[in-house]
Amino acid sequence: MPTRKTPETLRSHRWFGRDELRSFGHRSRAKQAGFDAPDYAGKPVIAILNTWSDLNSCHMHLKLTADAVKRGVLQAGGWPLEVPVMSAGEMYTKPTSMFHRNFLAMETEEMLRANPIDGAVLLGGCDKSTPGLLMGAFTMNIPVIYMPCGPMMKGNWHGETLGSGSDVWKYWDEKRAGNLSWESWCEIEDGIARSPGHCMTMGTASTMTALAEVLGFCIPGASSIPAVDSAHTRIAAAAGRQIVENVWADLKPSDIITDKSFDNGIAVDMALGGSTNAIVHLVAMAGRAGIRLPLERFDDISKRTPLLANLRPAGKYLMEDFYLAGGIRALLNGMRALLHCDQLTITGKTLGENIDGAEIFNEDVIRTPDRALAPDGGTAVLRGNLAPNGAVIKHAAASKELLTHTGPALVFENYAELKAKIDDPDLPVTKDSVIVLKNAGPVGAPGMPEWGQLPIPKKLLKEGVRDMVRLSDCRMSGTSYGACALHIAPEAAVGGPLALVKTGDLVELDVPNRKLNLKVSDDELAKRRAAWKPAPPRYPRGYAKLYVEHVTQADEGADFDFLQYGPPIPEPDIF
Ligand code: FES
């Protein structure tokens, strides 16, 4: 364990504790804000990085959560300071909040580095906020605790339970097929998001907050607690108390993160039937800690990890049910034989100690390995001449008969073309076609949006078709479902084989054998490659220019090449 800190060895002492001109300035400005020596002298300065925003309805309660964290910090003898950072809200941000995940990671790192901060509690939950905050914190490597915003309440329509995302896609298809009235559609709109909190299916938000806890960065149980449950507030105060202790103990991310902790994260992702997005985020988060996670590691762990959480979109229930069934601690305790329970966490205890005694209260919601929903995990990694660097499919949420399928490609060069043509009654498509979307990857879109649950053509919806094989270099929402092979790398925009596919080419998807192939001869592909030209750059300036010039491919985490691996940036000089 690291040496305990003293008031003189706190990072913030360099700002406030010295007999220097600059320290005079820092203390006088603390007094300008109404603080005095009893507030700050010799105390750990705890930043509460708050992703609250009026632009992010998932996080609208985080001001109250921050107040509870402050209460805990004060109880433990720290000095809490609330710091707003980018919200990266999923719903309004275009082309995708993924475009801003790396921006949030940079902001987190720089806010922590540039200021007199000894430790931080990170408030997030809506999809990209979790990896964004943790990526920045891992690079900065000062003590941090992640405080998830918690899932929202279950949706309701005429007594029927509605799940975020999943039921939107389902009823949108029914509406397009002519089976749902405008009035019913509006009632669903009224009932599907009933409280603060992140999406309450096992989408990206629920997956990533659970994985933040499994990696060791949450107060035990925090990730499963609904946003509006009073336990959320109590846990927030506990996070405030714990972070002060962790600053004194100098318990940093580098003391917690290991290869084994990431293996735990991957195993739990598979047991949860978690979002495919978790793969790209875990690879990026590991990269910030100097750990390389090849896609095969996900596939290997998936093959030996049963599906245990009966949660939508792969299963039946929602996060509120999961919490009442015992939550993440109960799931972990039930699968502890599959985990490295000796891994250290922010409690100063091991993962195994954190989950000791956790009980399952509803065995239909949380299964044990002997009563698993499926013998292997929910996500598979595919390779082949169409995806030499990999692709992923959430086969747990796909139609089983499509997992081995060969069919003719129907190609769209970009999303605008797909939107314009997909409902054309003359579209040359059958239920056996393979819908292909190009130029939707990290560089092509840019930002690799969640367009991957490509719409079923209206003429097929009317015939009763509800799933087809679909391919793209984009992602899909964790709340989505269907036989969608995504994250194809390299992407079309940088000249990956996806760029060479033409309508009518035969595509082979073989999930049991982990294959994704284009049945076109090598000679023909070589001719097409010789004729291929990259699109001219769309972004002459700004963040988008930085993004497309430096973003890595999906299999590398879609982080910026200049932020992965490598040594940390030195502490700032204070002259
Ligand atoms: Fe925020 Fe889904 S929109 S988590």
**Dist. CA 477 → ligand 1 center (Å):** 10
Examine residue 313 and say whether the peptide bond preceding it is cis (omega within 30 degrees of 0): yes
Residue spans of alpha helices (H) in 195-258: 204-214, 230-249, 253-256
Q: How high is the pLDDT of residue 349?
A: 98
Average pLDDT over residues 501-527: 97
Which residue's CA is the nearest one to ligand 1's atom 3?
A: 90
Closest of 290, 297, 298 to residue 269, by C-alpha = 298
| Ligand 1 centre distance from Cα of residue 245 (Å) | 32
Same domain, 304 and 399: no
53, part of any domain: yes
CA nearest to 298, candidates 326, 321, 279: 279
Task: Please report whether residue 160 resides in a domain.
Answer: no
Q: How large is the average pLDDT for residues 392-396?
A: 90
Out of 166, 192, 198, 312, give the residue to mutate to test ligand 1, the one with the largest number of ligand atoms within 8 Å of its CB: 198
- Residue-level pLDDT at 314: 85
Q: 308, 337, 355: which is the final residue of a domain?
A: 355
Distance from Cα 53 to the centre of ligand 1, integer Å: 13
Domain membership of residue 537 (yes or no) is no
Q: State the residue range of the domain holding 424.
A: 382-531
Claim to verify: residue 211 and residue 339 sit in the same structural domain: yes
568 pLDDT higher than 80: no
* pLDDT above 70 (res 168): yes
350 and 386 part of one domain:
no
Task: Report the CATH number that the domain containing residue 314 is assigned in CATH.
Answer: 3.40.50.2300
The per-residue pLDDT for 149 is 98
Is residue 466 in some structural domain?
A: yes
Both 325 and 386 in one domain: the answer is no
Is the C-beta atom of 126 inside 6 A of ligand 1? Answer: yes
CA-to-CA distance for 383 and 77, rounded, in angstroms? 53
Q: What is the pLDDT of residues 428-480, one digit of tens each?
A: 999 999 999 999 999 999 999 999 999 999 999 999 999 999 999 999 987 77
Going from the Cα of 136 to the center of ligand 1, the distance in angstroms, rounded, reads 21
Task: Examine residue 494 and state whether it is found in any structural domain, yes or no.
Answer: yes
Query: Candidates 55, 164, 192, 209: which one to mutate for ligand 1, based on the most atoms within 8 Å of Cβ?
Result: 164
Structural tokens at position 494: 């940088």
Whether residue 427 is found in the same domain as residue 522: yes
- For the chain, the distance separating the N- and C-terminal CA atoms, rounded to the nearest angstrom, is 32
Residues 38 and 113 in one domain: yes
Strand 119-124 relative to strand 79-84: parallel, antiparallel, unpaired? unpaired
Q: Which residue has the tokens 């010799």?
A: 42
Residue 2 has pLDDT above 80, yes or no: no
Q: Are residues 27 and 140 in the same domain?
A: yes
Residue 295: pLDDT band (50, 70, 90) is: very high
Same domain, 269 and 412: no
- For the Cβ of 105 lying below 6 angstroms from any atom of ligand 1, the answer is no
Confidence of residue 290 (pLDDT cuts 50, 70, 90): very high
Which ligand 1 atom lies nearest to the CA of residue 59? 1
Distance 257 CA to ligand 1 centre (A): 26
Pick the residue whose CA is nearest to atom 1 on ligand 1: 126
Is the CB of residue 125 less than 8 Å from the CB of residue 478?
no
Element (H, E) at 169: helix 166-176
Residue 174 falls within a domain, yes or no?
A: no
If you average pLDDT over residues 116-134, what whole number do you get?
98
DSSP state of 59: G
pLDDT mean over 379-394: 95
In a domain, 171, yes or no: no
**pLDDT for 188-229, tens place per residue?**
999 999 999 999 999 999 999 999 999 999 999 999 999 999
91 Cβ below 6 A of ligand 1: yes
Same domain assignment for residues 472 and 415 = yes
CA-to-CA distance for 221 and 199, rounded, in angstroms? Answer: 18
Which of 101, 104, 127 to mutate for ligand 1's pocket (most ligand atoms within 8 Å of CB)?
127
Secondary structure (3-state) at 148: strand
Packing angle between helix 277-288 and helix 98-114, nearest 10 degrees? Answer: 30
Closest CA to 201 of 52, 59, 320: 320
Asked whether residue 435 falls in the same domain as residue 302, the answer is: no
* Residue in the block written with tokens 């008031």: 7
Residue 278: which H helix or E strand, with range?
A: helix 277-288
Shared domain for 341 and 463, answered yes or no, is no
In angstroms, what is the span from residue 44 Cα to ligand 1's centroid?
33
List the residue whose alpha carbon is closest to atom 2 of ligand 1.
Answer: 199
Q: Does 292 lie in the same domain as 248?
A: yes
Structure-derived torsion over alpha carbons of residues 91, 94, 99, 102, reported in degrees to the nearest 10 = -60
Q: Is residue 515 part of a domain?
A: yes
Mean of the per-residue pLDDT values of the chain: 95
Which pairs with CB-CB distance under 8 Å and at least 24 residues apart come from 35-41? 35/79, 39/79, 40/12, 40/16, 40/79, 41/7, 41/16, 41/17
Q: Kindly state if the Cβ of 90 falls inside 6 Å of ligand 1.
A: yes
pLDDT band at 1 (very low <50, low <70, confident <90, very high): low
Residues above pLDDT 90, as percent of the chain: 91
Local confidence band at 255 (pLDDT 50, 70, 90 cut-offs): very high
Mutate-to-test residue for ligand 1 from 199, 277, 318, 479, highest number of ligand atoms within 8 A of CB: 199
Burial label, 115 (beta-carbon count in 10 A; 0-12, 13-18, 19+): middle
CATH classification of the domain holding 427: 3.50.30.80
Task: Answer yes or no: is the C-beta of 198 below 6 A from any ligand 1 atom.
Answer: yes
Determine the average pLDDT of the residues in 370-376: 94
Domain-terminating residue out of 355, 374, 395:
355
How many angstroms separate the alpha carbon of residue 403 from the centre of ligand 1?
Answer: 28
Ligand 1 in reach of 269 Cβ (< 6 A)? no
Euclidean distance between CA atoms 214 and 222, whole angstroms? 11
User: Could you tell me the distance, in angstroms and rounded to a whole number, from the CA of residue 90 to the centre of ligand 1?
Assistant: 5
Number of domains in the chain: 2
* CA-204 nearest atom, ligand 1: 4
- For the cut 70, the answer to whether the pLDDT of residue 250 exceeds it is yes
What is the reported pLDDT for 459?
94
